[in-house]
Amino acid sequence: MNLSQTDIALFYKLWYELTWSINQKHGIVPAFGKPAYGQRVNQQVFIAIRNELWKNPQWIDEFLRDNEYGELNEVECGMLSRWRKEFVSGRFLIMQHTDKYSVFMSADKNETLYGVCGISDAFKDMVPVSALPLMIETVLLPFKDRIIYDSFIGVSNIMFGRGMRSGFKESYNAAKKRLGIIEQMGIAPVILPKQTVRPVPKAMTARFSEIAQVIETYCLEKLNDGYKEVCLEVLAKLARKRPSPLVSGRTNTWACGIVYTVGAFNGTFGTSSPNYVVDSEMADWFGIAKRTASNKMNEIDELLGLSYSRMDVTVREQGMTSPKT
């Protein structure tokens, strides 16, 4: 779904008035003429202003307070005030098209779902179903009783494999069940806590904690929270096996084997990975040989029957910046 012609004109009136006025005051780009709906706008120049605006949202407060250049009425200023308070900027996955809107899933840990309408064109006309899920970057805005975007979208060229797509679908279904789809901004969802690591038998608690401490240290130093959570879930699965294989073997060997397994399944040893780690250097960190780490990975794979289809070891935070230096 997209906006009516009347609402399209209103959106661009607000958007152009705001961006032009902010550029007049802060001088982001020189010689930027006041745009008008229906006229061609220099996209590169406009994007430069837009990017600075969302880095400095307090400028909207200044505009509404001073209104030095604005020609907006009270209702229109109220709409801009909502933009200031309720905008959501970041990366999203377009997951599904419906007759009412397209569903965007935030790429953060909460995986919130938003029902987003197009402006001039519906998203289902711009993004075919075959291209979903699609990673984008944009800014979501409230507009009357709908959610729209600020007219600019950055599209990622990341191609997702079957395992990742399955993981996104799993997250989408879980978020939909937990929160539903937000159709209006300003209504804070009640987020139920996610249980990322299940309980382990009492007899294995001490052993679990011992290995977990090593895993957490490595992941926080070299990888990220996404890897840590998946590694701890794999550790918990091993602790729950009867009998648990964790009762014998060195702590560091098990810790390395688990991290090595998760890394291998997520392409961490490939140079194109955003969290690239050399496999031999990973093994060195734990003080074991690369061959030992590889053998332990094979053992874990055989013990748990790991697979992409069941999302046992897929990390869904691959795009996070690695903390390593």
pLDDT for the residue numbered 110: 67
pLDDT for the residue numbered 257: 95
Report the distance separating Cα 275 and Cα 232, nearest Å.
18
pLDDT for the residue numbered 8: 94
Each as own residue / partner, the long-range contacts of residues 202-205 (CB below 8 Å, 24 or more positions apart, any chain) are: 204/239, 204/240, 204/244, 204/246, 204/247
What domains can you pick out in the chain, each with its CATH number? 5-84 (no CATH), 87-182 (2.40.50), 202-304 (1.10.472)
pLDDT for the residue numbered 130: 87
Residue closest to 255 by CA, chosen among 289, 232, 223:
232
For tokens 């960190």, name the residue.
285
Q: Calculate the dihedral angle through the C-alpha atoms of 271, 277, 278, 284, rounding to the nearest 10 degrees.
A: 180
Residue closest to 23 by CA, chosen among 43, 49, 54:
49
Helix (H, G, I), strand (E, B) or coil at 106: strand
pLDDT for the residue numbered 148: 96
For residue 130, give the DSSP letter: G
pLDDT for the residue numbered 195: 45
Report the distance separating Cα 129 and Cα 124, nearest Å.
7
The interaxial angle of helices 251-265 and 279-286, nearest 10 deg, is 160
Report the distance separating Cα 143 and Cα 10, nearest Å.
10
Residue closest to 101 by CA, chosen among 119, 124, 125, 117:
117
For strand 181-182 and strand 113-116, is the pairing parallel, antiparallel, or unpaired? parallel
CB 136 within 8 A of CB 165: no
pLDDT for the residue numbered 198: 57
116: β partners: 102
**AA identity, residue 304:** L
CA 173-175-176 angle, 5° bins: 65
What is the full per-residue pLDDT of the chain (325 aa) written as tens digits?
899 999 999 999 999 999 999 999 999 998 888 888 887 888 888 899 999 999 999 999 999 887 655 578 888 989 999 999 999 999 999 999 998 999 999 987 667 899 999 999 999 889 888 888 999 999 999 999 899 999 999 988 777 888 788 888 888 888 887 778 899 887 655 554 444 445 788 889 889 999 999 999 999 888 988 889 889 989 999 999 989 999 999 999 999 999 999 998 888 888 888 888 999 999 999 999 999 999 999 999 888 887 544 445 677 654 443 444 3
Residue closest to 23 by CA, chosen among 38, 42, 8, 4:
42
pLDDT for the residue numbered 224: 87
Reported pTM: 0.58
Neighbours of 253 (CB within 10 A): 19
**Which residues are CB-neighbours of 12 under 8 A, at least 6 positions away?**
35, 37, 151
